[in-house]
Amino acid sequence: MKVIPGFALRPLGNEYLLIAESVELVNFNAMITLNESAAYLWRNVADKESFDEHTLADLLLAEYEVSPEQALADARKTIQSWKEAKLLTDL
Protein backbone atom coordinates (compact mmCIF):
# COMPACT_ATOMS: atom_id res chain seq x y z
CA MET A 1 0.00 0.00 0.00
CA LYS A 2 0.97 3.67 -0.19
CA VAL A 3 -0.36 6.98 1.03
CA ILE A 4 -2.72 9.02 -1.09
CA PRO A 5 -0.80 12.04 -2.39
CA GLY A 6 -1.83 15.62 -1.67
CA PHE A 7 -1.69 15.67 2.14
CA ALA A 8 0.59 18.05 4.02
CA LEU A 9 1.76 17.49 7.57
CA ARG A 10 1.71 20.65 9.65
CA PRO A 11 2.72 20.97 13.30
CA LEU A 12 0.05 22.35 15.62
CA GLY A 13 0.87 22.50 19.33
CA ASN A 14 1.76 19.01 20.56
CA GLU A 15 0.14 17.33 17.59
CA TYR A 16 0.20 17.45 13.82
CA LEU A 17 -2.47 18.25 11.30
CA LEU A 18 -2.62 16.19 8.15
CA ILE A 19 -4.48 18.38 5.67
CA ALA A 20 -5.48 17.89 2.05
CA GLU A 21 -3.43 20.54 0.35
CA SER A 22 -2.52 21.57 -3.17
CA VAL A 23 -0.40 24.48 -4.34
CA GLU A 24 -3.37 26.85 -4.11
CA LEU A 25 -5.97 25.18 -1.93
CA VAL A 26 -6.05 23.78 1.60
CA ASN A 27 -9.12 21.77 2.58
CA PHE A 28 -9.71 21.69 6.34
CA ASN A 29 -12.63 19.33 5.81
CA ALA A 30 -10.18 16.65 4.75
CA MET A 31 -8.02 16.74 7.84
CA ILE A 32 -6.99 14.49 10.71
CA THR A 33 -4.69 15.03 13.65
CA LEU A 34 -1.67 12.80 14.25
CA ASN A 35 0.38 12.40 17.40
CA GLU A 36 4.17 12.60 17.38
CA SER A 37 4.83 8.93 16.56
CA ALA A 38 2.14 8.75 13.86
CA ALA A 39 3.55 11.92 12.31
CA TYR A 40 7.04 10.36 12.37
CA LEU A 41 5.68 7.29 10.56
CA TRP A 42 3.81 9.43 8.03
CA ARG A 43 6.90 11.49 7.23
CA ASN A 44 8.89 8.33 6.58
CA VAL A 45 6.39 6.58 4.30
CA ALA A 46 4.81 9.55 2.52
CA ASP A 47 7.22 9.25 -0.41
CA LYS A 48 7.48 5.47 -0.46
CA GLU A 49 6.09 3.64 -3.47
CA SER A 50 4.98 0.80 -1.19
CA PHE A 51 4.99 -0.11 2.48
CA ASP A 52 3.26 -2.47 4.89
CA GLU A 53 2.86 -3.05 8.62
CA HIS A 54 6.41 -4.42 8.88
CA THR A 55 7.80 -1.20 7.37
CA LEU A 56 6.04 0.80 10.07
CA ALA A 57 7.08 -1.62 12.81
CA ASP A 58 10.74 -1.33 11.73
CA LEU A 59 10.47 2.46 11.79
CA LEU A 60 9.03 2.36 15.32
CA LEU A 61 11.79 0.01 16.49
CA ALA A 62 14.42 2.33 15.04
CA GLU A 63 13.05 5.39 16.85
CA TYR A 64 11.33 4.21 20.04
CA GLU A 65 12.19 1.77 22.81
CA VAL A 66 9.46 -0.78 22.23
CA SER A 67 9.38 -4.55 21.82
CA PRO A 68 9.00 -5.98 18.29
CA GLU A 69 5.54 -7.30 19.25
CA GLN A 70 4.43 -3.90 20.52
CA ALA A 71 5.85 -2.18 17.44
CA LEU A 72 3.95 -4.52 15.12
CA ALA A 73 0.73 -4.05 17.11
CA ASP A 74 1.12 -0.27 16.96
CA ALA A 75 1.92 -0.44 13.25
CA ARG A 76 -1.26 -2.44 12.58
CA LYS A 77 -3.31 0.00 14.63
CA THR A 78 -1.84 2.95 12.73
CA ILE A 79 -2.55 1.38 9.35
CA GLN A 80 -6.11 0.61 10.44
CA SER A 81 -6.75 4.22 11.48
CA TRP A 82 -5.19 5.56 8.27
CA LYS A 83 -7.38 3.21 6.23
CA GLU A 84 -10.46 4.41 8.10
CA ALA A 85 -9.44 8.01 7.35
CA LYS A 86 -9.06 7.02 3.67
CA LEU A 87 -5.40 8.05 3.59
CA LEU A 88 -4.12 4.85 1.98
CA THR A 89 -4.42 3.17 -1.38
CA ASP A 90 -3.53 -0.40 -2.34
CA LEU A 91 -2.28 0.68 -5.78
Residues that bind other proteins (CB under 8 A): 10, 12-13, 17, 21, 24-29
Instruction: Give me the least distance between CB of 25 and other proteins, in Å please.
Output: 5
Which residue number, 26 or 62, has a Cβ lying nearer to other proteins? 26
Q: DSSP state, 72?
A: H
8 A C-beta contact, residue 68 and residue 79: no
Residue 16: which of 7, 29, 24 has the closest Cα? 7
Instruction: Give me the least distance between CB of 19 and other proteins, in Å please.
Output: 9
Which secondary structure element, helix H or strand E, spans residue 10, and what is its range? strand 7-12
Which residue number, 25 or 91, has a Cβ lying nearer to other proteins? 25
Instruction: Give me the least distance between CB of 32 and other proteins, in Å please.
Output: 13
Which residue number, 33 or 70, has a Cβ lying nearer to other proteins? 33
Residues whose CB falls within 8 Å of the CB of residue 84, separated by 6 or more in sequence, listed in order:
none
